[in-house]
Structure formats: C-alpha cells, structure tokens
Amino acid sequence: MFLPIYIIWVCTLVTSIQGEFTQDFMSLSCGKWLASRISGRLETSTSLTYSNNMNCDVTISVSNNKRIILMFKRFEIEAPINGSCPDFLSVYDGLSTAFPLMFDQKCGTVVEPFSLNTSSNHVTLRFVSDDSAVFRGFEVEYTEFSDPPCTSGEFECTSGICINEGNKCDDVNQCGDNSDESQCTDSEEKGVVQTGWTLAEMIGCAVGLLILLIILIIVTVKLYQRYKRNQSEIEYMSVNTLYEYPVTDKYNKYKIGIRGRREPRQVSFYSNVVVMPPGEKNNAENDLTS
C-alpha cells in the first residue's frame, strides 16, 4: 500500500531538488506558500474559466539573494464596471499583502504579454472574483534571476539577466528573449520537452522501482515458503487420520498401526473341529438321532 506512495515521494523529491519547471493553480493553492521554487507557471484555475467568489492569496519564494521575473502570457479578467473591477488581480512585492503593491486590482484584457520584476525573492498574488461573469483569467510564468556576472550553475541571457542553468532548453522562455531556448541540441531538448523527465528524475524513479521489485520478490518467496510448509502439515495430518471412526481390538479384523500399517491377525478356522475316524463318526451320529 505504501510502496506506490514511496515511489511518488522519491520522484517528487528529486524533482524538487532539481528545481524544474512546476505548474500550479490559484484555485488549488489558496493560502499556500510555494517555497523553494526556481521556475514555474501559475494559472487562475484548472478549468477553462475561473470560478465565482474566489478570494485567493498565493506567495511564491525563490532562492535567497535572487529576484523574480513575472511574465504574464494571458490576462483576461472581467472588465471594469463604473470604474471599479468586479474581478481583479493584485501583486505585492513581498511575503504577504502587507508589502508594497506592484500593481493594484488590475482587470480587463491585456493582449500583449507583459512582465514585472520583484525587488526580493518573494512575491504575493491575490485574485478576487464576484458572483457574476467569469473569464479565462491569467497565466503567469515566473523565474528566479540575478544580475550579472553570472555564477557557476547559471545561464546568462541575451537580455542581461542570469537564470538557473536547469531552465535552459526546457521549452519555456524564461529569459524573455528566448535566448535560453536557442542553440539547444537534440539531447537537451529531448530531456524535458519530449519526455518530460530529466536524467536525475529517471534515476530516482528507477531506484524506487528497483526497491519495489526487490520487496515484491522477498514477499513472493516468503509466501511460497509458507505455502509449502502448510502443505507439509496437511499431508502429515492426512496420514495420521486415515480412519474417521474408532477401531477397537474386539472388532479389529486387522491390527491397525498408528500410520495405517495393516498386520493380519492369525486366525485358525479349524481350531474347534475334532477329526473322528469313520466308524466313530457313525456312532456319534446315531447317538444324536436316538
């Protein structure tokens, strides 16, 4: 029961260590803190449109001494009515809604993608909807970055920012100018785009599956040994209970051993017969008839 959970945990752990691109939704993450992220995507809902009466706060944090770039790929929220937004998104430059606003109660439709840069390694998004119309909502991709010079394990974008080396060639434009997706070899593209698994993730899951296989083999051997032991006990009991009724010596034509061994009793059928000469036999018969 716990083995599939263990394997999923191993795969998830390796993924989190590698800091690969992750997918989250406001509707499933209300009040959550998405910590230790490197890059990912946040959307309003798993459905085609967001729900009514939503009121969700989500905080995203990346590595210390890094900043976050937010790239909005889609922004379709109910338009203002009489100058106010019935549904809106607010973005705060910090760990909570107590921090300064990057923009306040933004709504309507923005056709062209746009981006925001935080001043720290935290950002908080608040989405609110009323009980009227619903729309597709927003889709934002976020990435941790730092200013040059880039350190080991970082990739320098043409746009002049440094992103995590693991975000290169993952089919997501984290640089903003697509320089992290250009000049990628087939093997690099295949690692994420086609299979969706990195080498480290595949190794981690393979180890988990190997452990599962070993445990299944051990359990199978134990069950087989128990089965053979039970069969031996059944055969022993069958031999020792050959007869289902009690056999007494009085009616025992054959002496029955403990394990059903038959020992014929020596019976003399002529032990009470007296052999008489012919003459005496006739006299005896005459005496009986007289």
Highest mean pLDDT among 201-205, 213-217, 233-237: 213-217
Residue 166 lies in a domain: no
- Whole-angstrom CA distances from 236 to 242, 243, 257 are 11, 14, 15
Domain boundary among 106, 121, 146: 146
Residue 126 lies in a domain: yes
Beta strands in the chain (DSSP E): 22-25, 33-34, 39-43, 55-61, 67-76, 88-92, 101-106, 109-110, 114-117, 122-128, 137-146, 154-156, 162-164, 254-256, 262-264
- pLDDT of amino acid 289: 57
233 pLDDT tier (thresholds 50, 70, 90): confident
Tokens 């007289």 sit at which residue? 290
DSSP code of 50? Answer: P
> What is the pLDDT averaged over residues 180-186?
82
Residue 191 lies in a domain: no
184 pLDDT tier (thresholds 50, 70, 90): confident
276 pLDDT tier (thresholds 50, 70, 90): low
Domain boundary among 120, 146, 172: 146
Q: What is the CATH number of the domain that holds 84?
A: 2.60.120.290
pTM > 0.85: no
Together in a domain, 27 and 13: no
Residue 229 lies in a domain: yes
Structural domain span for residue 46: 21-146
Together in a domain, 46 and 125: yes
- As a 3-state breakdown, the chain gives helix, strand, coil percent values, each rounded to 5, of 30, 25, 45
Count of structural domains within the chain:
2
Residue 76 lies in a domain: yes
